[in-house]
Amino acid sequence: MSLTAVPNLGPATALTCRECGQSYDLGPRYACEQCFGPLEVTYDYSNVSRERIEAGPRNIWRYRDLLPVPPNVTETPNTEPGFTRLVRSDNLAESLGLRSLWVKDDSGNPTHSFKDRVVGVALAAARELGFKVLACPSTGNLANAVAAAAARAGIRSAVFVPSNLEQQKIVATAVYGGTFVTVDGNYDDVNRLASEIAGEQEDWAFVNVNVRPYYAEGSKTIGYEVAEQLGWRLPDQIVVPIASGAQLTKIDKAFQELITLGLVEDKPYKVFGAQATGCSPVAAAFKAGHDVVRPVKPDTIAKSLAIGNPADGPYVLDAVRRTGGAIEDVSDEEVIEGIGLLARTEGIFGETAGGVTLASLRKLVASGALDPAAETVMINSGDGLKTLDAVAAVARPSANIAPSFDAFRKAGLA
């Protein structure tokens, strides 16, 4: 692999170990050589200002002064994700007994989930680092996003998914071309295989494995957007789904950066996590008061969140405990109810992850962990059209009739 000698990743200055603090030059590395801890991007924030952000494009690149991407990132083909709508959700708030609620609707991204954000940043960084192929192990949405982004960038993709994935996500990956492998195993098996392949295929950027430090930074853009869309202020509470836990920890990082940089007023906020009970290792650790997350074997309809051994689990626990939040988990029945409630009250069809988040939010209100009088944001991280099977049994037409007015009248629907 021909590595770029000194990559220009804009404001990014180094990679720093989250465990021991050891610092490394920017490059295709992801684990600390001293302690094997995960690496995190550090920055020179001197170019950041509200004015520069507001003058930027209506996608994640408006935050490029806060991301590990080359200065010319807007000139190379990418899927340009982000700046999805923040929906004021009064009907849902009323139904849940909340004073003020917003849904950050990330189903509006190019491949209909929040994964376009992380892939956008990973692609930009991977190209600058000299990688030739964009790859990933995925629970589905990441595969969609990687295959699409690579197609648009004109490079090869190679994605690996569990073979029991939703049909919608299989088709929505295959359609972009590229190398696409289904694996007889669960996500954690696929992830292990990907790490092995990454060790052999030097010029393959597995976005969530060997370029993970850059990839994960893409999730910060949800936090920036929420703050900017609220008029440059932070919500009091935010509820976030957890798979690997990167999205939650990076939203928290984004809020902290905005406070440190003086872009929003410094005020307390609470970060809440949501999992499906059938894959709830982080919720279980939170509830038991543990610092370590014990891996589980996933069994839930919320396949996009079905990571039994979440890489960022301990950091999620840190962020949630530090901010005074909590983590809840919900059954598959509650997930289905959650999808229906979001659709009926706000006209937003979320995927199973959205159902997990809404059902968890509801439980957090009931338990008193979430303050009903405080301003709340919940993330809908994907589109319901990707997980149709989850609600196919309960989302049915009102009636099937002959094409006559008489038949309509007899159906009793007038």
Ligand X SMILES: *Cc1c(COP(=O)(O)O)cnc(C)c1O
Residues engaged in binding Zn ion (CB under 5 A): 17, 19-20, 22, 32, 34-35, 37
Among 161, 190, 234, 242, the residue binding ligand X under the rule CB under 6 A is 242
Provide, rounded to whole angstroms, the least separation between the CB of residue 392 and ligand X.
19
State yes or no: residue 280 binds ligand X (CB under 6 A). Answer: no
Under a CB-based contact definition with an 8 Å cutoff, are residues 204 and 2 in contact?
Answer: no
Q: For the window 344-363, what string marks contact with ligand X as x by the rule CB under 6 A?
A: -------x-x----------
CA distance 224 to 226: 6
For residue 22, the partner it binds in ligand X, Zn ion, none, with Cβ less than 5 to 8 A by kind, is Zn ion
Contacts to ligand X from residues 61-100, by CB under 6 A: none
Q: Which is nearer to ligand X, 7 or 112 (CB)?
A: 112
Give how many residues touch ligand X by CB under 6 A: 18
Provide, rounded to whole angstroms, the least separation between the CB of residue 381 and ligand X.
3
The residue type found at 407 is A
First CA to last CA distance, the chain: 68
Q: Are strands 86-88 and 100-105 parallel, antiparallel or unpaired?
A: antiparallel
In 3D space, the residue among 107, 59, 66 whose CA is nearest the CA of residue 378 turns out to be: 107
User: Helix, strand, or coil here: 124?
Assistant: helix
For residue 16, the partner it binds in Zn ion, ligand X, none, with Cβ less than 5 to 8 A by kind, is none
Q: Which is nearer to Zn ion, 3 or 35 (CB)?
A: 35
Q: Which is nearer to ligand X, 79 or 141 (CB)?
A: 141
φ and ψ at residue 342, rounded to 5 degrees: -65, -40
Stretch that binds ligand X, among 151-159, 199-207, 240-248, 396-404 (CB under 6 A): 240-248
Provide, rounded to whole angstroms, the least separation between the CB of residue 47 and ligand X.
27
For residue 247, the partner it binds in ligand X, Zn ion, none, with Cβ less than 5 to 8 A by kind, is ligand X
For residue 17, the partner it binds in ligand X, Zn ion, none, with Cβ less than 5 to 8 A by kind, is Zn ion
Helix (H) or strand (E) holding 199: helix 187-200
Q: Considering just the CA atoms, what is the radius of gyration of the chain in Å?
A: 21
Q: For the window 372-391, what string marks contact with ligand X as x by the rule CB under 6 A?
A: ---------xx---------
Can you spell out the DSSP letters for 129-167?
A: HT--EEEEE-SSHHHHHHHHHHHHHT-EEEEEEETTS-H
Among 16, 59, 141, 173, the residue binding ligand X under the rule CB under 6 A is 141
State yes or no: residue 213 binds ligand X (CB under 6 A). Answer: no
The CA distances from residue 414 to 251, 398, 400, 407, in Å, are 47, 12, 14, 11
State yes or no: residue 162 binds ligand X (CB under 6 A). Answer: no
State yes or no: residue 304 binds ligand X (CB under 6 A). Answer: yes
Under a CB-based contact definition with an 8 Å cutoff, are residues 279 and 298 in contact?
Answer: yes
φ and ψ at residue 104, rounded to 5 degrees: -85, 110
In 3D space, the residue among 82, 89, 169 whose CA is nearest the CA of residue 343 turns out to be: 89
State yes or no: residue 111 binds ligand X (CB under 6 A). Answer: no
For residue 371, the partner it binds in Zn ion, ligand X, none, with Cβ less than 5 to 8 A by kind, is none
Q: Which is nearer to Zn ion, 3 or 20 (CB)?
A: 20
Provide, rounded to whole angstroms, the least separation between the CB of residue 144 and ligand X.
9
Among 70, 137, 241, 281, the residue binding ligand X under the rule CB under 6 A is 241
CA distance 100 to 120: 32
For residue 283, the partner it binds in ligand X, Zn ion, none, with Cβ less than 5 to 8 A by kind, is none
Q: Are strands 12-17 and 23-24 parallel, antiparallel or unpaired?
A: antiparallel
State yes or no: residue 244 binds ligand X (CB under 6 A). Answer: yes
CA distance 221 to 59: 9
Q: Measured in whole angstroms, how far is the alpha carbon of residue 42 from the centre of its chain?
A: 21
Provide, rounded to whole angstroms, the least separation between the CB of residue 31 and Zn ion.
8
Q: For the window 217-236, what string marks contact with ligand X as x by the rule CB under 6 A?
A: --x-----------------
For the record, the structure tokens of 354 come out as 């959205």
For the record, the structure tokens of 87 come out as 């929906």
**Which residues are at the interface with ligand X (CB under 6 A)?**
113-115, 141, 219, 241-247, 304-305, 351, 353, 381-382
